[in-house]
């Protein structure tokens, strides 16, 4: 068996086009574009790349991007004051706090002060709680992007045995909630899991979100399974690799996401979608 590719680049492009059309409609109705404030603290090189890509994506979709690049010496009080101003700013529909923050700043504390209605990352405990209660509002971008990708390829997860490897608040836990909402039977694996190999081998759908290159051997993948690889890891030779050993996994799986070009593009696409959604909800309009 040779796996079919879940092309995140192509699906993300379609989603961006949809967001651009919705943003243009928002401008015609309300006289301003949806607005996203991106807050970056410090000089982390990876963060600089991510932020630049997000701001470029906003520009391409007709979303106003408000840049707040702060020095690493920014204090807790200064950062909280900025978040407070952005919460009150009517031109700002979404707030994105780029992680990681410099040492001495508690990312959980800071993120918890973001207005849940502007939490376009979907990380606020209120938005996570709504998802857990089957009342989703703003959803974590990467898991939401995975669900959008599966939908595009008409992969119905209802009844599937889904195994999520990784239990982070950013990907693993909300991913499990998304799959549960879609009526899959979900197992979450973490550092306390006793038989990771067995859990992966039993799965119809594997979502790998560990952040360790080729952590899951490809031979663990069940014949005909769907493999969603969230990991983006840079190897010593500079190449990128996912959390799953790709070549042997692709020989067994029915569907697989490549790295790069799989889940990564979907994350930014859903950030744009969330921003338009947040703008519409704040106006009392239907998100469509």
Based on the residue annotation, tell me whether 212 is a catalytic residue of this protein: no
Selecting among 93, 115, 119, 121, the annotated active-site residue is 121
How close are the terminal C-alpha atoms of the chain, in Å?
A: 39
Based on the residue annotation, tell me whether 54 is a catalytic residue of this protein: yes
Alpha carbon separation from 114 to 87, 104, 126, 168, 246 (Å, rounded): 7, 19, 11, 20, 38
- Under a CB-based contact definition with an 8 Å cutoff, are residues 242 and 249 in contact? no
- Rounded CA gap, 139 and 119, in Å? 9
Based on the residue annotation, tell me whether 98 is a catalytic residue of this protein: yes
Selecting among 98, 119, 243, 277, the annotated active-site residue is 98
Selecting among 54, 93, 229, 243, the annotated active-site residue is 54
- Rounded CA gap, 199 and 210, in Å? 15
Alpha carbon separation from 263 to 22, 46, 79, 125, 286 (Å, rounded): 23, 17, 31, 24, 27
Count of residues in the chain: 288
| Active site residue ranges | 54, 98, 121
């Amino acid at each position: 068996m040779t796996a079919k590719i879940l092309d995140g680049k192509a699906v993300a492009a379609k989603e961006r086009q949809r967001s651009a059309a919705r943003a243009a409609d928002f401008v015609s109705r309300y006289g301003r574009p949806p607005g996203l404030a991106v807050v970056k603290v410090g000089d982390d090189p990876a963060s600089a790349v991510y932020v630049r890509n997000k701001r470029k994506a906003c520009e391409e979709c007709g979303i106003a991007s408000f840049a707040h690049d702060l020095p690493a010496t920014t204090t807790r009080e200064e950062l909280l004051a900025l978040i407070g101003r952005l919460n009150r700013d009517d031109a700002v529909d979404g707030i994105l706090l780029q992680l990681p923050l410099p040492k001495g700043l508690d990312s959980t504390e800071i993120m918890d002060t973001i207005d849940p209605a502007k939490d376009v990352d979907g990380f606020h405990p209120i938005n996570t709680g709504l998802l857990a209660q089957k009342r989703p509002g703003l959803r974590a971008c990467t898991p939401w992007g995975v669900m959008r990708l599966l939908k595009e390829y008409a992969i119905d997860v209802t009844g599937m045995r889904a195994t999520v490897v990784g239990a982070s608040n950013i990907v693993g836990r909300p991913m499990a909630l998304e799959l549960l909402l879609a009526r899959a039977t979900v197992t979450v694996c973490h550092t306390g899991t006793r038989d990771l190999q067995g859990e992966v081998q039993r799965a119809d759908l594997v979502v790998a979100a560990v952040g360790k290159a080729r952590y899951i051997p490809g031979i663990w993948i069940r014949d005909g399974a769907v493999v969603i690889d969230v990991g983006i890891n840079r190897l010593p030779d500079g190449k990128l690799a996912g959390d799953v050993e790709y070549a042997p996994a692709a020989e067994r799986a029915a569907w697989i996401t490549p790295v790069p070009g799989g889940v990564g593009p979907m994350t930014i696409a859903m950030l744009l979608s969330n921003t338009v959604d947040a703008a519409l909800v704040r106006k009392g309009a239907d998100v469509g």
